[in-house]
Amino acid sequence: MSDDIRVLIRSNPDIVTARQQGRALAARTGFDATDVTLIATAISELARNIVSYACQGEIILRVLERANGKGVMIISRDSGPGIRSVDDAMRDGYSTSGGLGLGLPGVRRLVDEFTIESVPGRGTMVRVTKWLR
């Protein structure tokens, strides 16, 4: 969509930029301070995964409007190595980097809708939506 906000993710400063853009978009859409923080946290986790595992990708931010309300969709997309086992990656405590393994499962808990598609050797796309209540 032409109104999408796209942030190229290659390094830690790009994570900050994506987070700031997401905070501003969420606030303009009408989310309260708590939900703005949840959206920014989800963006941070998704963008950090790009930097950590794929080296480069993008975060796309989109306002959604439908008859029963507004929301913000976040799309994280990369063409990195992909995730060998999405089921494992979505399990609390699972980590291939020695971290706490809270990234993707944590993001899923922060939002209302969560989908992930990953093909080893071709990349990963995570699509999440938070709806205004």
pLDDT in tens, 92-112: 665 655 444 358 988 999 999
Domains of the chain: residue spans and CATH: 5-131 (3.30.565.10)
Write the burial class of residue 97 (CB in 10 Å: 0-12 exposed, 13-18 middle, 19+ buried).
exposed
Q: What is the pLDDT of residues 34-61, one digit of tens each?
A: 999 999 999 999 999 999 999 899 999 9
pTM beyond 0.75, yes or no: yes
**In the predicted model, what is the mean pLDDT of the chain?**
90
91 or 83: which leads in pLDDT = 83
Residue 94: per-residue pLDDT: 59
